């Protein structure tokens, strides 16, 4: 098969109670990349202009996606929406470029499907690369594919993965991990929507930055999401703990980041005394009001850097940092890079 007609076969090996977005998010990303490549070839879009000068230009991608399960046919999903799958054993002799294992709900009593574990272990050596989304890492680990490797999974399941598979070096922080050793590449990703981040990284590796960026824009997501899982796990845990008690205040804060958001001002908006407000806020959210303000400002700054060409000085004022120096210090503390370096890497503007 010539390079101009190269087809990359992506197989999603799925178990009953599949977390639907773990599969359909990456599937959509691969399809958007395929559409970008078709459009670029047909109309000489800017996508193809970059590809012409990239190391990937001799190997344009066309993706063919297969969703397969042990029994094939209609598969139940965790969301209740059935999906139609092929039988895994029908792929025993098929060429596989990328093998992806999406997640299922996992707890201490979950029994992994042994037939799926066995098929993954047998099929992985003939795939160019193997990946998991969310708790799909449990299946890769059970198949022995993560032994001695660094891997990640959903932050809620990271400790459980480490306990259950002691030979896996579990890192709960990254959105995804690419581990290459002994000539084999294994990718693992965090929970649910992180599968889209993973797919975009695979697309970029295959087809170049322009195609992956095109797919990201179509999906209205970051090409490379800033930060790690902690920014999401801490925020979600805080919101859950609050039970909505400060939802209205948080909305007001997000709309007024440029203002002076002292405890006194926030207490006034919450209609409490400063002392009562500070105490109840920490009880409900698990952190001080000042830490929430700082986190919201840095998040707004990251969004402005990626989505606009506004000067850093203007962003500092809009986000409530006051000076560029304050902005740079807060941003580097959170993301480990300077604002302009971040813009150069993640800008979609």
User: Which is more confidently placed, 342 or 27?
Assistant: 27
DSSP 177-196: EEEEETTEEEEEE-STTHHH
**Residue 20: alpha-carbon gap to chain centroid:** 15
% of the chain exceeding 70 in pLDDT: 84
Q: Does 134 qualify as catalytic in the annotation?
A: yes
- Separation CA 245–CA 208 (nearest Å): 45
Nearest-5° Cα angle at 155, 102 to 143: 40
Catalytic residue among 24, 61, 134, 319: 134
Q: Output the six-digit token pair for 210.
A: 């322009």
**What is the side-by-side strand order in the sheet with 83-87?**
73-75, 83-87, 63-69, 8-13, 96-101, 127-132, 184-189, 176-181
pLDDT(153) > 70: yes
Does the global pTM surpass 0.75?
no
Confidence grade of residue 296 (pLDDT, cut at 50, 70, 90) = confident
Q: What percent of the chain has pLDDT over 90?
A: 52
Q: Which residues of 302-339 are buried (b: 16+ CB within 10 A; e: fewer)?
A: bebbbeeeeebeebbbbbbbeebeebbebbeebbeeeb
**Rounded distance between C-alpha atoms, residue 180 and residue 178, angstroms:** 6
Distance CA 215, CA 38 (A): 12
How do residues 157-207 score in pLDDT, each as one tens digit?
999 999 999 999 998 878 889 999 888 999 999 988 999 999 999 998 898
Phi, psi of 97 (to 5 degrees): -85, -50
DSSP-assigned letter for residue 5 = G
Q: Tokens for 207?
A: 């087809």
Complete domains list, the chain, with CATH: 3-219 (3.40.50.880), 230-346 (1.10.10.60)
pLDDT on residue 37:
81
> Could you tell me the pLDDT band of residue 72, with boundaries at 50, 70 and 90?
very high
């Amino acid at each position: 098969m010539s390079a101009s007609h190269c087809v990359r076969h992506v197989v999603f090996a799925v178990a009953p109670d599949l977390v639907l977005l773990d599969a359909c998010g990456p599937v959509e990303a691969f399809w958007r990349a395929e559409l970008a490549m078709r459009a670029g070839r047909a109309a000489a879009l800017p996508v193809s202009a970059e590809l012409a000068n990239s190391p990937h230009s001799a190997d344009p991608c066309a993706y063919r996606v297969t969703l397969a399960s042990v029994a094939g046919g209609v598969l139940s999903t965790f969301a209740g929406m059935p999906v139609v799958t092929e039988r895994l054993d029908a792929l025993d002799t098929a060429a596989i470029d990328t093998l992806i294992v999406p997640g299922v709900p996992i707890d201490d009593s979950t029994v992994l499907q042994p037939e799926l574990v066995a098929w993954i272990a047998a099929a992985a050596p003939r795939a160019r690369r193997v990946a998991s989304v969310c708790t799909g890492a449990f299946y890769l680990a059970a198949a022995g594919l993560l032994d001695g490797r660094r891997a990640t999974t959903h932050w809620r399941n990271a400790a459980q993965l480490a306990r259950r598979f002691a030979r896996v070096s579990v890192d709960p922080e990254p959105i995804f991990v690419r581990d290459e050793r002994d000539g084999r590449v294994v990718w693992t990703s965090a929970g649910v929507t992180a599968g889209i981040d993973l797919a975009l990284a695979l697309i970029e590796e295959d087809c170049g930055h322009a195609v992956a960026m095109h797919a990201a824009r179509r999906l209205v997501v970051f090409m490379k999401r800033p930060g790690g899982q902690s920014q999401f796990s801490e925020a979600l845990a805080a919101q859950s703990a609050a039970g909505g008690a400060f939802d209205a205040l948080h909305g007001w804060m997000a709309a007024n980041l440029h203002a002076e958001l002292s405890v006194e001002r926030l207490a006034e908006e919450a209609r409490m005394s400063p002392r009562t407000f500070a105490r109840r806020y920490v009880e409900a959210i698990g952190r001080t009001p000042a830490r929430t303000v700082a986190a919201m400002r840095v998040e707004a700054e990251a969004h402005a850097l990626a989505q606009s060409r506004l000067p850093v000085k203007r962003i500092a004022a809009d986000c409530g940092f006051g000076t560029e120096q304050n902005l740079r210090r807060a941003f580097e503390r959170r993301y480990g890079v300077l604002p302009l370096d971040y813009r150069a890497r993640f800008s979609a503007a």
